[in-house]
Chain A
């Protein structure tokens, strides 16, 4: 069995993405709870030694230390999913996964910031963050809508991939920043399918029922 450790905070949606893939793959993994709020433990020397950026999640696989949510998803899929379904290697599906991972890392960051402000931050004006989040969700919704025209139900391949995992929390948690699911019908249907996957688990803020 692989010797995996995830440095984790339950309320962090990036850590949730790693937990989801570990669960979908049925991998045993040691979970180390990090006191992010209010302790900011991830910015103390023992954690900075693992990730100088002071962020979670951090994964260790044997002696190998890996940071960055998308890199962790890609590594887990490449190293521990012999079926190659979660990270398909053939041409277009692979490229589409990369494209949505980039979208997740670069663009969806705004949804994480909006949510952190609304949950933990001082009261302030989140209007522009919420407007940007709506725009991103609309891009995701219309991508799935158009894929649905040819019977495709997932973001990058004929089956779920790490792209779907990387995108799921931004939609599932959007109500935390006051964005209802009313206006994203394709994401609603995708979210139901995602929740029905074997090994799916919730995080705080995502209800068990649907």
Chain B
């Protein structure tokens, strides 16, 4: 898959809490996703410009991301604003992190490996209920073909005979619908043979929180089991009797 010029989801939005940081990988590159105190999301290269320490091991303090190693702190613009060993010095402008484009949409945090943001993602009008992030030992193309072949069992009664419709919403975002219900799956190419699927329900929490989420988590775990168990890769699809 051509990695340039597309948005990629790197986390479910609620998985990175305000005031915290997490490491993620995209096409083998290590990135840090963090949220400032107001919940604003940021995606940077996961390297402190000082000694190369992973910034995702650090801490968020007063809207800045601090490095665990020597406490250098970086503001939302990526600029280093504080060096504890030289508290009174003006920090040179050249000391900064490398920021990547970022977007929060469809209940996921998105980034791109290009310097400029790719064309905008579609609008997300519907309410979203998060389900899970699945991490798979396979290439993105293999995960996508397993997803295409899967059957989505509806959560609510009355939709049992509905067939599954697969739809490409954006180059890395797919919709599976069954009757009146649908889920969105964002595709993260973690590395050559590692892929993450970020799964959300297109529907409000009042309907899907709890049992609805568990229902689609079981579907996702079954999909993963199929991918991880090559002997199952025959004609049977998730949701069908063997």
- Give chain B nearest CB distance to A208 CB in angstroms: 9
Say whether B24 contacts A182, CB under 8 Å. Answer: yes
**Distance in angstroms between the alpha carbons of A180 and B23 in the assembled complex:** 8
B205 to chain A, nearest CB (A): 10
Contact with A185, one of B133, B209, B214 (Cβ below 8 angstroms): B133
Please classify how large the interface on chain A is, using the bins under 10, 10 to 19, 20 to 34, 35 or more: 10 to 19
Inter-chain CA distance A189–B11, complex, in Å, is 13
What's the A-B contact tally at a CB cutoff of 8 Å? 48
Return the chain A residue nearest B194 by Cβ: A183
B12 touches A146 (CB 8 A): no
Given contacts A192-B20, A209-B58, A209-B66, contact A185 B217 (CB under 8 A): no
Whether the Cβ atoms of B22 and A185 lie closer than 8 Å is yes
Please indicate which of the listed interface residues A180, A182, A183, A192 has the most CB atoms of chain B within 10 Å of its own CB. A182
Residues of A within 8 A of B23 (CB): 180-182
Most chain B Cβ neighbours within 10 Å, of A146, A149, A185: A149
Chain A neighbourhood of B25, CB < 8 A: 182
Does A150 touch B at the CB level, under 8 Å? Answer: yes
- Note all chain A residues with C-beta closer than 8 A to B209: 149-150
Tell me which residues from 164 to 210 in chain A have a Cβ below 8 Å from any Cβ of chain B: 180-183, 185-186, 188-189, 192, 207, 209-210
Instruction: Report whether B22 and A181 are in contact in the complex, using a CB–CB cutoff of 8 Å.
Output: yes
Bound-state CA distance A185–B21 (Å) is 11
List the A side residues contacting B24 at CB < 8 Å. 182
Instruction: Find out whether the CB atom of A188 lies under 8 angstroms from the CB atom of B210.
Output: no
Write out the residue numbers on chain B whose beta carbons fall within 8 Å of the beta carbon of A189.
15, 17
Residue A21 at the chain B interface, CB threshold 8 Å = no
Which residues of A are at the interface with B, using a C-beta cutoff of 8 A?
A: 142, 145-146, 149-150, 180-183, 185-186, 188-189, 192, 207, 209-210
A sample of 14 inter-chain contacts (CB < 8 A) reads: A142-B132, A146-B213, A149-B209, A150-B209, A183-B133, A185-B11, A185-B22, A188-B20, A189-B17, A192-B20, A207-B57, A209-B66, A209-B68, A210-B59
